[in-house]
Amino acid sequence: MSASAERNRERGRRPQAALECKPLLEAATKDLFRRNAFRITGLPVDATTREVGRFADKLKLLAEVGQDTHAQSSAFPMKPPPSLDEIREAFQKLKDPEKRLIDEFFWFWPEEFGSSQSDPAMQALAKGDGQAAVKIWAARESDGADGVVAKHNLALVYHVCALDWDNYAVENKLDGERRQKVTAYWKDAFSRWEKLATNEAFWEKVTDRIRQLNEPNLPTGFARRMRATLPEALDKINAELAVAFAESGQIELTRLHIQFMRQTHQGLDNVDKTAEMVLTPARNRLKEHIRAARERADKNPLDAANAARELLGHAQQTLCLFDLFFEKNSEIRGDLFDEVASLCNQLPVAYHKATGDDETCLEILRAVLPFATSIELRQQIEQNISTLSGNVAYRKLAPIYELLKALQDSKALPASRLASFQGEVEPAIGEAAANFSGVWSPSSTPPRLPGFSPSTHGSLSAASPELAQLFDSAAIVLRDISLAAWNNHHDLKTAVAANELALNYAASAELHQRLAADKAALQGLHALNGLAPISAAPTLSTLNGIGFTLYGCTDVDAATGSYLTTYYFVFLWIPIFPICRYRVARTGDSYRFFGKAPLRPFDKWHLAIAIGLILLFIILGSSSGSTSTSSSPTNNTLGSSHPAPSYAPPQGSESANYGGNAYRVPKSLADSLSAERTELESERTHLEALDAQIQELGAQIDRERLYVDRASQYSVDAFNAKVSRYNALVERAKTANAAFNQKVDEYNAKLQRYGR
């Protein structure tokens, strides 16, 4: 809180209402001396009631015979002279004891009331010789208590000159030299008034004058009220001048008089209270405009926009005036302009319901916002501006959204959809970004959007919310194309191209992060391109060196940690038949299979040679067997008719174990492994279903993100609920996958342990 505001707050605590002198405040206007009865009539302040009556009769007689009643030879004559009505009003004031005392207070005093006829200074004034009177008072001003009359009269001299000139300056510009003199008059007057305001001898003089007048309706307590009110009364004069200069467009002189108010009588006045008093007419006029605008809109909603515009025009003038007098956090200022802003926030609503004219309502609300001071009201107006801005921007961008929607719903191949985006949508977005007013701001960050030059455009982060939403929508459609290209068609080239383009368009950090994760996943898929899917891992087991196993390690992919290896049938651990190739990743004693790859030419030659050798051995063996049979004699030998011994394999084993050097998996353990495998396959099916559900829900969210009605809280809440459900399913899938992978690792470890 400023020092002046603190002083005003402290003064507000004092019970000043009982000490306030309302007649003095009513008289203290910028026309104070123009309406002073003694200046108008030329009578001295100590004129008796009889003298006043005789002078009034004289003026009346002059008026009846057609002579000039305005001739004045005294000092400080009025220009222009007072009218007959002003003279009559002056004589009426002299009949009111309170008004007469106030006019006496603001005119020149003799050294002793009742001695004007013998007072040299008063006689000089009566003859029009103001310079002589000033010299007399200047000589007496420093005489302590005896100098208070001279100080009072000198304060009036400078005050009358300053006020007369500034009343003239409201409509007539003063030159620089004259302005300096007028400012000096004000300062000379203030320096004396400030001393008199607390001078006991001076106020005793006022009290004695009240006793001398001896009017029943004028107690001595009136002097105490005048003393308490004088600083604010003097402030009120400057406040009225400040308002007059403001209304005439002379803002510097307005500030000068407000500065006078704040710099004088510190601790004795209440500047904010005085300013509020002076600005009451302007405030009442504005309230009348508020009432008229409300009634106008109620009668005809189609006219509500014009009513708001006119009200804002009136309010703008009053706002400038209040801003000169009050601090920005002033309650007086804030309450009034919040009332204007609140109504002008409502009027566009009625107009919009009747017309749907977003642009006009937006224009009005932007003009209203500077008037609002309360946080809640500003938030309401800003929310309405945001909604209307979105509506206006959406209409401008609607054709592009229609292209995006058609592209998203298209059943064409992903490569064709990507080509359509690049040929139709991308040029339309570029044109919209170039023509969209107020969108870009300079930035050192080069734009990610293709076709835009860093010298003419800022980064996507500097785009307006409307364009940023459009860019994100384009990125979402491109991501949909990328996902469809790989998941549905194994088209890695299109998937990568769509992902790269989507990264250029993504404006939000969240979407850009998701696309970056997609890019990393696609980089891992380069190694998987061309692989055939497999339903289950192949058997890896041997018996006495006979069986199936993997040999070799080629085409290592760092992204997935995988490599290509060949699946062989081995005999005595020698690879005989290359059956196929797999891309695998090895973890300890277990393998993770990514897919099946075709045999290399080398593998095919290996297979052909192996088959050829086997056929050769068969042919040679057949030839050798024929020869031996034909040359052997056919005779019976003892024991030749006995069959060879036959040994049944032991119960519980898969085959005979004659050598005793191979260990078989017990049937109970084999059954356990089979049960585990069945359970794993069941869990795999469940996880695949969960993953499909997540993919479908994610696709729905991406599609709906384009068309969420952000002006509808219901639509926003429904969309957010779906996003929350998606996130929950993702977390659930992560947990389930971690548990499944652990079970698979345990199962593979058992296979490695018991399978050889």
- Whether residue 86 is predicted with pLDDT greater than 70 in this model: the reply is yes
Segment 691-697 shows an average pLDDT of: 80
Segment 343-372 shows an average pLDDT of: 90
**How much is the mean pLDDT over the chain?**
80
Q: What type of residue sits at position 639?
A: G
pLDDT tier at 295 (50, 70, 90 boundaries)? very high
The four Cα atoms 689, 694, 698, 699 give a dihedral, to 10 degrees, of: 0
The answer to whether residue 382 is domain-embedded is no
Among 324, 355, 373, residue at a domain's last position: 373
Asked whether residue 220 falls in the same domain as residue 301, the answer is no
The answer to whether residue 656 is domain-embedded is no
Identify the pLDDT of residue 624: 60
Among 373, 389, 413, residue at a domain's last position: 373
Q: What pLDDT digit, counting tens, does each position of 221-253 carry?
A: 999 999 999 999 999 999 999 999 988 889 999
Q: What pLDDT digit, counting tens, does each position of 479-512 carry?
A: 999 988 888 887 888 988 999 999 988 888 888 8
SS3 of residue 422 by DSSP: helix
Asked whether residue 218 falls in the same domain as residue 169, the answer is yes
Tokens of 682: 């069941």
Identify the CA nearest to 32 among candidates 174, 131, 162. 162
List CB contacts of 557: < 8 A, sequence separation 6 or more: 524, 526, 527, 563, 583
pLDDT tier at 83 (50, 70, 90 boundaries)? confident
The Cβ-side half-sphere exposure at 740, using a 13 Å CA radius, reads 18
Identify the pLDDT of residue 66: 58
Identify the pLDDT of residue 187: 95
Segment 88-94 shows an average pLDDT of: 90
Asked whether residue 333 falls in the same domain as residue 418, the answer is no
Identify the pLDDT of residue 711: 57
CATH number of residue 682's parent domain: 1.10.287
Three-state SS string across 129-191, please? CHHHHHHHHHHHCCCHHHHHHHHHHHHHHHHHHHHHHHHHHCCCCCCHHHHHHHHHHHHHHHH
Identify the pLDDT of residue 652: 33
Asked whether residue 264 falls in the same domain as residue 302, the answer is no
Structural domain of 341: 283-373
Identify the pLDDT of residue 756: 39
Asked whether residue 406 falls in the same domain as residue 493, the answer is yes
Out of 205-214, 330-339, 387-396, 465-474, pick the least confident.
387-396
Buried b (16+ CB within 10 A) or exposed e, 120-142: ebbbbbbeeebebbbebbeebbe
Identify the pLDDT of residue 343: 92
List CB contacts of 75: < 8 A, sequence separation 6 or more: 124, 125, 126, 128, 129, 130, 133
The answer to whether residue 601 is domain-embedded is yes
The answer to whether residue 636 is domain-embedded is no
The four Cα atoms 391, 395, 396, 402 give a dihedral, to 10 degrees, of: 130
Segment 354-379 shows an average pLDDT of: 90
Tokens of 415: 């490569």
The answer to whether residue 710 is domain-embedded is yes
Q: How far is it, in rounded angstroms, from Cα 429 to Cα 145? A: 87
Asked whether residue 434 falls in the same domain as residue 363, the answer is no
pLDDT tier at 526 (50, 70, 90 boundaries)? low
Residue 89 vs residue 674, higher pLDDT: 89
Identify the pLDDT of residue 730: 83
* Helix (H) / strand (E) containing 474: helix 465-489
Residue 11 vs residue 591, higher pLDDT: 591
Identify the pLDDT of residue 227: 94
Segment 691-710 shows an average pLDDT of: 73
Q: What pLDDT digit, counting tens, does each position of 703-748 carry?
A: 676 666 665 666 777 778 888 888 888 888 888 888 888 887 777 7
Identify the pLDDT of residue 663: 31
Segment 553-575 shows an average pLDDT of: 82
Number of domain units in the chain: 5
- Whether residue 320 is predicted with pLDDT greater than 80 in this model: the reply is yes
Q: Report whether 292 contacts 299 (CB < 8 A).
A: no
pLDDT tier at 573 (50, 70, 90 boundaries)? confident
Segment 131-159 shows an average pLDDT of: 92
DSSP letters, 233-302, are: HHHHHHHHHHHHHHHTT-HHHHHHHHHHHHHSSTTT--HHHHHHHHTHHHHHHHHHHHHHHHHHHHH-GG
Segment 94-99 shows an average pLDDT of: 94
Q: At what angle do helices 251-263 and 271-278 cross, to 10 degrees?
A: 140
User: Could you tell me what percent of the chain has a pLDDT over 90?
Assistant: 33
Q: What pLDDT digit, counting tens, does each position of 147-167 carry?
A: 999 999 999 999 999 999 999
- Whether residue 8 is predicted with pLDDT greater than 60 in this model: the reply is no
Identify the pLDDT of residue 725: 84
Identify the pLDDT of residue 670: 59
- Whether residue 300 is predicted with pLDDT greater than 80 in this model: the reply is yes
Asked whether residue 568 falls in the same domain as residue 684, the answer is no
The region, left, alpha or beta by phi > 0 then psi within -120 to 50, assigned to residue 555 is: left
Asked whether residue 516 falls in the same domain as residue 600, the answer is no
Q: What type of residue sits at position 487?
A: N
The answer to whether residue 565 is domain-embedded is yes
Q: Report whether 341 contacts 381 (CB < 8 A).
A: yes
Out of 267-271, 340-344, 487-491, pick the least confident.
267-271
The answer to whether residue 569 is domain-embedded is yes
Q: Is the pTM of this model over 0.85?
A: no
Q: What residue has token string 């696609």?
A: 522
Identify the pLDDT of residue 1: 41
Asked whether residue 81 falls in the same domain as residue 112, the answer is yes
* Helix (H) / strand (E) containing 587: strand 574-587
The answer to whether residue 708 is domain-embedded is yes
Q: What pLDDT digit, counting tens, does each position of 427-463 carry?
A: 888 887 776 644 433 333 333 444 443 233 334 444 5
- Whether residue 20 is predicted with pLDDT greater than 50 in this model: the reply is yes
Output the CA torsion sign for 640, 642, 648, 654.
positive
Tokens of 284: 């009442």
Q: How far is it, in rounded angstroms, from Cα 711 to Cα 339? A: 26
Q: Which long-range contacts (CB under 8 A, 24 or more apart) does 115-121 make?
A: 115/46, 116/44, 116/45, 116/46, 116/47, 117/44, 121/153
Asked whether residue 467 falls in the same domain as residue 589, the answer is no
Asked whether residue 266 falls in the same domain as residue 292, the answer is no
Asked whether residue 215 falls in the same domain as residue 352, the answer is no
User: Could you tell me what percent of the chain has a pLDDT over 70?
Assistant: 81
